């Protein structure tokens, strides 16, 4: 088993042996924030399953920081047979980023920003929307490193309800998290493999029209428990339940 206490740093590629060079923001973080020194170890990851335990050979600080590494062992982690994708409604303030952070730490395989009808936050198609999407993607990268994940979840371009319904129709199972319904996650027949889509609505809830469109595409409305969860925490709770109810955590 790999040492899960070692910090993880992302690189475009992970060599199988020999030396590797950590550059850019990751190198600056390793050198100035983590203060790694010669002889210490870290894990290098490409965010797509390849990982390597490395020993630090040299550290150069400053704006052009670099960390020279020697690969000790390399391995590849396959994604789970059952992949879970989270369609997260846009949320006000930093709640959307919190939702991405928690879902990533809980194992989401991708995140789809959803422009729900009752979303207070609105992502324009221009620079403001691009900046918001970049923040979500940066949050996913940071959370994946914090959780020592081999895979950084993809954060897609935002979608409307029509595109979300089209995506739902391609999934092995689609679950809409909605507090006002009778269905329970424990009662759903979950597949052993394939793709599950979790749809999380905004603070104001999912409209009747949205729910009808998603149900027409095969989505199953469920509630997670007797309490009402925030939009920022619902996906993480559902991912934890799916980890126990399926083989994802075995």
pLDDT number for residue 197 = 98
Joined together, the tokens standing for residue 158 give 């935002």
For residue 248, pLDDT over 90 is answered with: yes
At residue 187 the predicted structure's pLDDT band, cuts being 50, 70 and 90, is very high
Residue ranges and CATH numbers for the domains of the chain are 8-76 (2.40.240.20), 82-249 (3.40.1280.10)
Average pLDDT for residues 185-198, to the nearest whole number?
95
- Each residue's pLDDT tens digit, 134-170: 999 999 999 999 999 999 999 999 999 999 999 999 9
pLDDT number for residue 22 = 95
At residue 2 the predicted structure's pLDDT band, cuts being 50, 70 and 90, is low
User: What percentage of the chain reaches a pLDDT higher than 90?
Assistant: 86
Q: The pTM is what?
A: 0.92
């Amino acid at each position: 088993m790999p040492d899960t206490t070692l910090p993880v740093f992302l690189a475009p590629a992970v060599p199988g042996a020999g030396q590797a060079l950590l550059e850019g923001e990751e190198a600056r973080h390793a050198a100035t924030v983590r203060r790694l020194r010669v002889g210490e170890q870290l894990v290098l990851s490409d965010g797509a399953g390849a990982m390597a335990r490395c020993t630090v050979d040299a550290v150069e600080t400053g704006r052009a920081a670099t960390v020279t590494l020697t690969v000790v062992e390399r391995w590849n982690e396959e994604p789970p047979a059952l992949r879970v994708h989270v369609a997260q409604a846009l949320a006000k303030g930093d709640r959307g980023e919190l939702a991405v952070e928690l879902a990533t730490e809980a194992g989401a395989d991708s995140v789809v920003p959803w422009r729900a009808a009752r979303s207070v936050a609105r992502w324009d198609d221009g620079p403001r929307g691009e900046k918001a999407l970049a923040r979500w993607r940066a949050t996913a990268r940071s959370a994946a490193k914090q959780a020592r994940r081999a895979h950084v979840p993809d954060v897609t371009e935002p979608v409307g309800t029509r595109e979300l319904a089209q995506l739902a129709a391609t999934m092995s199972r689609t679950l809409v998290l909605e507090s006002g319904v009778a269905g329970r996650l424990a009662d759903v027949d979950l597949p052993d493999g394939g793709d599950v889509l979790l749809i999380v609505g905004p603070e104001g809830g999912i409209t009747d029209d949205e729910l009808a469109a998603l149900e027409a595409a095969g989505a199953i409305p469920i509630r997670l428990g007797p309490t009402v969860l925030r939009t920022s925490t619902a996906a993480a709770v559902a991912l934890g339940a799916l980890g126990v109810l399926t083989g994802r955590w075995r």
